[in-house]
Amino acid sequence: MSDRRPIRAVVATAALLLGFGASVVSADTALKRLTLRQDSLGWEAVGRLDLSERGFCTGALIETDLVLTAAHCLFDRKGERIDPRQVTFRAGFRDGEVIAERKGARAVVHPEYTPSDPDGLHQLKSDVALLVLDEQIPAATAAPFIVGAQVTPGETVSLASYAQGRESALSWQRACSVLGRGEGALLFTCDADFGSSGAPVFEISSGRPRIVSVISRGNREDGTIQVFGPEIGPALRETRRALQDGRDVWPKSAFTARRIEASRSNAMSAGGAGGARFVRP
């Protein structure tokens, strides 16, 4: 975990930038543990991203072989890239059981993401990564999510995540709020913690969950939670383009040109891998 002071400085600056406190906030709901199989229906494509011996993050399928998560999940504390072949995506992980399990094959992060400066405010809008799996997960098993339109302050969103203390099953927060938006980043009231990095934030007003952000970093202090993530539309477009072109995809030996389907362009870590950047008093 990074030093508290720079993170708090970023949180304070970002909160001002994004208009923290300027919106009327709807009542947030409590986290619900999706214990039973029927509880998880529709959420099968959210999974735990196990980072070898370095802890875990959360990720979500946006194609049958493509997982969306946070960029900082794929770097260790020294800023070195984690070998994606040592990463395991466990779709629908629940009490030791999975709906499907796949290893990573290669990975790419947003072209502007710089792990050597993890506390820069500009990182909020670029903390996005794509993990290509070594084998597809059939859509009939876990249907990939699509990406939604931009959300605005005052709107209600949902969060599906794993986290420290609730790592054994997915938890769903049906309602939390968008507090602010600006500079390609969003501010939420969602209940995230270590292990929630990369967790998808959904807009569900249409009835079908659509990803609008992923958890990047946040702060828990004096009973208040401030959580940040990128606006996923523009960030994902840039990251997909990098994957398609092979820019900074690793490992290079695993790279093959990837065609991005136009119809699909619409989808904090626990342990030692950097983690959802939460600080505690």
pLDDT in tens, the chain (281 residues): 333 334 454 455 555 455 544 444 557 999 999 999 899 999 999 999 999 877 999 999 999 999 999 999 999 988 899 999 999 999 999 999 999 999 999 999 999 999 876 556 778 899 999 999 999 999 999 999 999 888 999 999 999 999 999 999 999 999 999 999 988 999 999 999 999 999 999 999 888 899 999 999 988 777 788 899 999 999 999 999 999 999 899 998 755 555 544 333 332 556 544 445 543 33
Q: What's the pLDDT at 106?
A: 98
What is the reported pLDDT for 2? 35
Token code pair at residue 84: 């994606």
Cα gap 201→199, rounded to integer Å: 7
Rounded Cα distance, 27 and 1, in Å: 31
Torsion of CA 228, 163, 159, 112, to 10 degrees: 40
Within 10 Å of residue 197's Cβ, how many Cβ atoms? 37
* Beta carbons of 272 and 197 less than 8 angstroms apart: no
Cα–Cα distance measured from residue 210 to residue 224, given in angstroms and rounded to the nearest whole number:
26
Domains of the chain: 4-264 (2.40.10.10)
Ranges assigned E (strand) in 12-147: 31-33, 46-51, 56-63, 66-69, 87-91, 100-109, 129-133, 146-147
- The single-letter code of the amino acid at 224 is T
Nearest in space to 277 (alpha carbons), one of 180, 164, 197, 158: 197
Residue with the two structure tokens 């960030």 = 235
**Per-residue confidence (pLDDT) for residue 54, from 0 to 100:** 77
Predicted confidence at residue 270, as pLDDT, reads 64
pLDDT at 260: 47
Q: What is the pTM of this model?
A: 0.86
